[in-house]
Amino acid sequence: MIREEAQLNPRLFDKDVEQVPTRNGYGEGLVIAGEKDPNVVVLCADLTESTRSEAFAKKFPERFIEIGVAEQNLATIAAGLGVSGKVPFISSYATFSPGRNWEQIRTTMAYNDSNVKIAGAHTGISVGPDGATHQAIEDIATTRVMANMKVFVPCDAIEARKATLAAAKIWGPVYIRFTREKTPVITTEDTPYIPGKAEIFWEPKAGTRSKKAEVAIIGCGPLLYNALVAAHELDKEKIGVVVLNNHSVKPIDERKIIEVARKCGAVVTIEEHQVMGGMGSAVAEVLAKHYPVPMEFLGMQDTFGESGKPEELIKKYKMDVRDIIYAVRKVIKRKK
């Protein structure tokens, strides 16, 4: 059942559960961060409305810089501000930033430990009709490999706002990943959010049909909702799972990941990203070193996406509820 301590949305499994794009939380977070700290500045690459930087630009026009379609300039200008006492946030589509300007981010930001926050919008295949060129499915891998870089993947709009505010207070470069489409609101204002600390959102306990946790589902981003629905369905079959929100890919919560692996003896990871190098790979690195268990990885399987409705693409590339349930059953057989 849902952990009471997690304080999740009580209407999580309703058909009319509230849905909001995670990028909206970023926009709200920028304004709040700007109100709290006059050193917060925002730069954008001609995508002010789409990345939800617009509200900040209207409230603090003197602290907003429109760079235009020049992502390399976006990164290097921000890097200079980041070592000069400012707290710059740069906003663009993730295929462009940290995609097109990866080398500038590496050399001018990460290498110099510049205090820049990178907002990568329109990530994953749920970008939909824009197609493969605009569907960032490699960005977790390319950012987490950089020294000094932190990587956050919020599961909903509320957590995205919290991640934005947390990033503003953390020294050094941070990458935050956002989605375009509306996705279910999983958390509440009271749900804990601490960078570097994963949270258990579901586990078998008194009142559930399943008494024992057999698999840990570790996910990040809005697909965590599918993991929770899968856990709800599996409980009806008396198959117990733990669902862990691993929103902080770097720094990663090694202690909690090892804890749920020990408890369950098998792990399924789910992310809207390539399975190579992403969040699942980060989890596998932890477990390979400390506590190896059978694992299944759900995500993009070494392929690009395509144009289509978000829900159609999630099903085609096997990241929906039925695929998570299948992976859980499969890894249980491997464990036994």
Active site positions, annotated? 71
Cα distance from N-terminal residue to C-terminal residue, the chain: 24
Task: Give the closest residue to 224 by CA, choosing from 99, 124, 92, 119.
Answer: 124
Who's near 219: CB < 8 A, 6+ residues apart? 155, 227, 243, 244, 245, 246, 269, 270, 271, 279
**Backbone dihedral angles phi then psi of residue 297, each to the nearest 5 degrees:** -120, 120
- Name the amino acid, one letter, at 213: A
On whether the CB atoms of residues 302 and 274 are closer than 8 A, the answer is: yes
Collapse the DSSP code of 45 into the 3-class scheme (helix H, G, I; strand E, B; otherwise coil) and give the result.
Answer: coil
User: What is the rounded CA–CA span in Å between residue 234 and residue 328?
Assistant: 9
